């Protein structure tokens, strides 16, 4: 009888430990799933080098890209802010979110790109929106979701439904 109780007690203790371990494992995986459900912010993106220098971008792998245009000035700039209808002379770098590939940049060409008239310029909607308020001398990160970029069709090297990350230097604002 004592042996039967010991076996029963041992089995019960094993079951409790097994259940606790199973719960612990599922909690760890749900924590990982919850981390990947977190929406990224501009603060999650690493950018090295300063205004006027070609940036190097590090994108996170522990959050999902935002679904609206997100901006953040890494360097504030000075003077009047860019307004709709104005012109922003830019240097920029474009990196894709999904494969972290640099697809275009004006730094290597040594020729800034004019965005004019701001708000209606012949650029993607995310740029027209994301450049409003930038000041001369500012460096800004602009995250552009597919709907404000090239959408479901993509374009050239930009894959369909691609989130775009720009680092933009405002060379001049007028």
Contact (Cβ atoms closer than 8 angstroms) between residue 57 and residue 167: yes
Mean pLDDT of 75-98: 97
Is there a contact between 57 and 96 (Cβ–Cβ < 8 Å)?
A: no
With 0-12 CB in 10 A as exposed, 13-18 as middle and 19+ as buried, what is 165?
buried
What pLDDT shows up at residue 158? 97
**Given this model, what pLDDT does residue 69 score?**
98
pLDDT digits (tens, 9 = 90+) for 157-169: 999 999 999 999 9
Arithmetic mean of pLDDT, 79-94: 97
Give the global pTM: 0.80
Q: Which fold has domain 42-173?
A: Chitinase A; domain 3 (3.10.50)
- pLDDT by residue (tens digit) across 90-119? 999 999 999 999 999 999 999 999 999 999
Domains of the chain, residue spans: 1-37, 42-173
Q: How confident is the model at residue 150 (pLDDT cuts 50, 70, 90)?
A: very high
Instruction: Return the pLDDT at 27.
Output: 44
Structure confidence at residue 37 (pLDDT): 86
User: CA distances (Å), 126 to each of 9, 129, 149, 164, in order?
Assistant: 65, 5, 6, 9
Across all residues in the chain, what is the average pLDDT? 86
pLDDT for 36 equals: 67
CB contact set of 54 (below 8 Å; sequence gap of 6+): 93, 105, 107, 108
The pLDDT, as a whole number, for residue 24 is 41
Q: What is the mean pLDDT of residues 72-90?
A: 97
What's residue 14's pLDDT? 40
3-state helix, strand, coil in the chain (%, to 5): 30, 35, 40
Q: How do residues 8-48 score in pLDDT, each as one tens digit?
A: 344 344 433 333 444 444 444 444 445 568 999 999 999 99
């Amino acid at each position: 009888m004592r042996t039967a109780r010991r076996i029963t007690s041992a089995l019960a203790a094993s079951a409790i430990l097994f259940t606790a371990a199973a719960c612990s494992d599922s909690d760890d995986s749900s924590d990982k799933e919850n981390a990947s459900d977190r929406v990224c912010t501009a603060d999650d993106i690493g950018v090295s080098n300063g205004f006027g220098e070609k940036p190097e971008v590090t994108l996170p792998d522990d959050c999902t890209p935002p679904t609206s245009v997100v901006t953040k000035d890494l360097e504030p700039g000075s003077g009047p802010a860019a307004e709709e209808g104005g012109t922003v002379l830019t240097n920029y770098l474009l990196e894709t979110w999904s494969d972290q590939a640099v697809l275009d940049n004006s730094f290597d060409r040594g020729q800034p790109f004019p965005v004019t008239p701001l708000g209606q310029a012949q650029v993607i909607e995310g740029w027209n929106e994301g450049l409003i308020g930038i000041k001369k001398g500012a460096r800004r990160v602009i995250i552009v979701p597919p709907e404000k970029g090239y959408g479901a069709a993509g374009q050239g090297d930009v894959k369909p439904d691609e989130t775009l990350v720009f680092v933009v230097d405002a060379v001049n604002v007028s």
